[in-house]
Amino acid sequence: MSLALLSLAALCWGLVSTEPTIQCGSEPGPSPEWMVQHTLTPGDLRDLRVEPVRSRVAMEDYSILMNVSWVLRADASIRLLKATKICVTGKSNLQSYSCVRCNYTEAFQTQTRPSGGRWTFSYVGFPVELNTVYFIGAHNIPNANMNEDSPSMSVNFTSPGCLDHIMKYQKKCIKAGSLWDPNVTACKKNKTVVEVNFTTSPLGNKYMALIQNRIVIGFSNVLENKPPTRTSVVIPVTGESEGAMVQLTPYFHTCGNDCIRRKGTVVLCPQTGISFPLDGRRSMMGGWWPFLLPALLGATALLAAGIYVIWRHKRIKKASFPTATLLAPIKVLVVYPSEICFHHTVCHFTEFLQNHCRSEVILEEWQKKKIAEMGPVQWLTTQKKAVDKIVFLLSNDVNTMCDSTCDKSEGSPHENSQDLFPLAFNLFCSDLRNQTPLRKYMVVYFREADTKDEYSALSVCPKYRLMKDAPAFCTELLRVEQHMSAGKRLTACSM
Ligand SMILES: *[C@@H]1O[C@H](CO)[C@@H](O)[C@H](O)[C@H]1NC(C)=O
Ligand SMILES: *[C@@H]1O[C@H](CO)[C@@H](O)[C@H](O)[C@H]1NC(C)=O
Ligand SMILES: *[C@@H]1O[C@H](CO)[C@@H](O)[C@H](O)[C@H]1NC(C)=O
Ligand SMILES: *[C@@H]1O[C@H](CO)[C@@H](O)[C@H](O)[C@H]1NC(C)=O
Ligand SMILES: *[C@@H]1O[C@H](CO)[C@@H](O)[C@H](O)[C@H]1NC(C)=O
Ligand SMILES: *[C@@H]1O[C@H](CO)[C@@H](O)[C@H](O)[C@H]1NC(C)=O
């Protein structure tokens, strides 16, 4: 019995040891087989898959690699198969291309594995960058002759960003705080105060906590020098905070303004001392209901009347209200110089405007076709008339704008937006010279608010620093109907 088992094991071992395995190495150029005519060639692959895996060299620059796996077709042509070649093209700000050739150590004797199942192999290699589209192609060798169709198989793979459960181990992501778990908790203490707790990171000591309930209702900067500790910050708020979102923005040395932000929700603080049981609250509400209902109806009627009046005024083209109507979105044209990183800076700013300042944002980036049709000057002039505000998005810290965490893949500002910012600035300058009211213009800075010399004319505009002046900026934006005096005017407006 034991002898039989032993011989069976030996037989299995013998079979396993002669099974082909792969030996892979880089082969950037054409394969040597390409130069030779082959009367018979192997068929194509049956399946090709790619998934990112964490490499074992943990702290290496490229700790995330591709696991490329493929399945061979079970047909007679497998006997001719010598190798499989895999080529990967990566498309982000830089285009990358590399190929690997995997030789089979033995000729294939069977169409399937002796143990059953198809021949499946995998190769782990090809470093994976963040937010990159990869095209992965594979073909068998010897490949078809030069003028014949070469069977190959391809798949694409888009690598995710730092929040992905595997990508977060990438060195860049770790530096941007991907492994930091701040465990943000926040609760409403009373009508005017929210308490936010979070665990600090050893990567930096500067944070900003922002409370937003559609619009920003409060924020606070936090400086914490101690190594990872649980920090508590009390933030005054100007609106209903229960259910609001709290956003924690860290400012680490390596990622500056582009660090990974964390979110939490504001809940009611557990009541200590005097507590209202739920039933008591409900009965109180019930008691108030008869008084509340008429008041509510009254308010609705007032609102309706207000809307009607506003609508009539608009029709008579007497748009001069002391307070904002807040009903229609504010149209905002955002212009930015080409050195600003589109994805991280402009997109985040746009998102902020849309989500928290009731704005409809117009970006050159989204209207390329229209601009091409109309010409940039005509397009800008039209937009200038149509929008409520024109925001110049500036940064005086160019070096950190497009750092490593920034994805410059699509709409790289360096290729696309070269003429629009100077044009918009010229337009502004001509308004300045012509004594046209400048109330449409605003300037927003990242980091410090000191205007670069070349754009010094913009210093007459109201200036805001993100995200420090975010509430003030939103308030100003929503007050578009109000006239803002242009303040002092500069006579020189040189480019
Ligand atoms: C694979 O085989 C080719 C042709 O025989 C050879 O040039 C190449 O060096 C081999 N590659 C590896 C990794 O063994
Ligand atoms: C790569 O993928 C194959 C097929 O899914 C799997 O068998 C193999 O374990 C993977 N390798 C790694 C290192 O994850
Ligand atoms: C990637 O592949 C999917 C399906 O295989 C396809 O729908 C998609 O269009 C491809 N994307 C690109 C950019 O080629
Ligand atoms: C987050 O903090 C809360 C309160 O301090 C604690 O109960 C919870 O276990 C923490 N969660 C994690 C994942 O650390
Ligand atoms: C924050 O921490 C303090 C002190 O540990 C605790 O009393 C409070 O309940 C915490 N608040 C939240 C919202 O987690
Ligand atoms: C809210 O709480 C804070 C601190 O807990 C306190 O200073 C403030 O007076 C309270 N405000 C109201 C309206 O109760």
Range 216-225 average pLDDT? 89
25 Cβ below 6 A of ligand 1: yes
Backbone angles phi, psi at 276, to 5 degrees: -95, 115
Distances (CA, A) of 478 to 215, 406, 414: 11, 31, 32
The Å distance, Cα 100 to ligand 1 centre, comes to 10
Residue 312 has a pLDDT of 47
Residue-wise pLDDT tens digits, 308-327: 444 444 443 333 333 333 45
For the CA of 156, the nearest atom of ligand 3: 1
C-alpha of residue 135 to centroid of ligand 3, in Å: 9
- 194 CA to middle of ligand 6, Å? 10
Q: Supply the pLDDT for residue 190.
A: 92
Q: Residue 23: CB within 6 Å of ligand 1?
A: yes
Pick 488 or 48 by higher pLDDT: 48
Mean pLDDT, residues 61-78: 87
The ligand whose atoms approach the alpha carbon of 68 most closely is 2
Return the higher-pLDDT residue of 254 and 435.
254
Q: Which atom of ligand 4 is nearest to the CA of 197?
A: 5
296, HSE (Cβ side, Cα atoms, 13 Å): 6
111 C-beta closer than 6 A to ligand 1: no
Q: Which residue CA neighbors atom 12 of ligand 3 most closely?
A: 156
Between residues 340 and 259, the one the model is more confident about? 259
- Of 61 and 339, the one with more pLDDT: 339
Its pTM stands at: 0.53
pLDDT averaged over every residue in the chain: 75
Separation of first and last alpha carbons in the chain: 94
Report the pLDDT value the prediction gives residue 307, as an integer from 0 to 100. 47
- Residue with CA nearest ligand 1 atom 4: 32
Site of tokens 């696991």: 67
What percent of the chain has pLDDT above 90? Answer: 28
- How much of the chain exceeds pLDDT 70, in percent? 72
Residue of the CA atom closest to atom 7 of ligand 6:
193
Nearest CA to ligand 2 atom 9: 122
Q: How far is the CA of 153 from the centre of ligand 3 (A)?
A: 13
Q: Tell which atom from ligand 4 comes closest to the C-alpha of 183.
A: 1
Q: Could you tell me if the CB of 31 is within 6 A of ligand 1?
A: no
User: Does the structure show a pLDDT above 90 at 237?
Assistant: yes
Which among 66, 69, 71, 86 is the best mutation to test ligand 2's pocket, defined by most ligand atoms within 8 Å of the CB?
Answer: 69
Q: In this structure, which amino acid lies at residue 483?
A: H
| Structure-model confidence comparison of residues 121 and 382, the more confident one | 121
Distance between Cα 140 and ligand 2 center (Å) = 20
Q: Measured from the CB, is residue 156 less than 6 Å from ligand 3?
A: yes
Q: Which residue has the higher pLDDT, 238 or 422?
A: 238
192 Cβ closer than 6 Å to some ligand 6 atom? yes
- Best mutation site among 122, 126, 166 for ligand 2, i.e. most ligand atoms within 8 A of its Cβ? 122
Does ligand 2 lie within 6 Å of residue 124's CB atom? yes
Q: What is the pLDDT of residues 406-460, one digit of tens each?
A: 333 333 344 444 468 878 888 888 887 777 777 888 888 766 655 566 677 787 7
SS (H, E, C) the chain: CHHHHHHHHHHHHHHHHHCCCEEEEECCCCCHHHHCCCCCCCCCEEEEEEEEEECCCCCCCCCEEEEEEEEECCCHHHHHCCEEEEEEEEECCCEEEEEEEEEECCCCCCCCCCCCCCCEEEEEEEECCCCCEEEEEEEEECCCCCCCCCCEEEEEEECCCCCCCCHHHCHHHHHCCCCCCCCCEEEEEECCEEEEEEECCCCCCEEEEEEEECEEEEEEEEECCCCCCEEEEEEECCCCCCCCEEEEEEECCCCHHHCCCEEEEEEECCCCCCCCCHHHHHHHHHHHHHHHHHHHHHHHHHHHHHHHHHHHHHHCCCCCCCCCCCCCCEEEEEECCCCCCHHHHHHHHHHHHHHHCCEEEEEHHHCHHHHHHHCHHHHHHHHHHHCCEEEEEEECCHHHHCCCCCCCCCCCHHHHCCCHHHHHHHHHHHHHHCCCCCCCEEEEEECCCCCCHHHHHHHHCCEEEECCCHHHHHHHHCCCCCCCCCCCCCCCCCC
Highest mean pLDDT among 109-118, 337-346, 451-460, 483-492: 109-118
Q: How confident is the model at residue 420, as a pLDDT? A: 80
**CA–CA distance, 465 with 157 (Å, rounded to integer):** 38
272 pocket-lining for ligand 6 (C-beta < 6 Å):
no
For 155-167, how does the pLDDT look when each residue is reduced to its tens digit (9 = 90+)? 999 999 888 899 9
- Separation of 185 CA from ligand 4 center, angstroms? 8
User: Which region among 25-34, 259-268, 298-307 has the lowest average model confidence (pLDDT)?
Assistant: 298-307
| Nearest to 376, CA basis, from 432, 427, 433 | 427
Give the lowest-confidence range in 118-132, 300-314, 333-347, 377-391.
300-314
Instruction: Return all residues near 139 (Cβ < 8 A) that are at least 6 apart.
Output: 44, 45, 84, 85, 150, 151, 152, 153
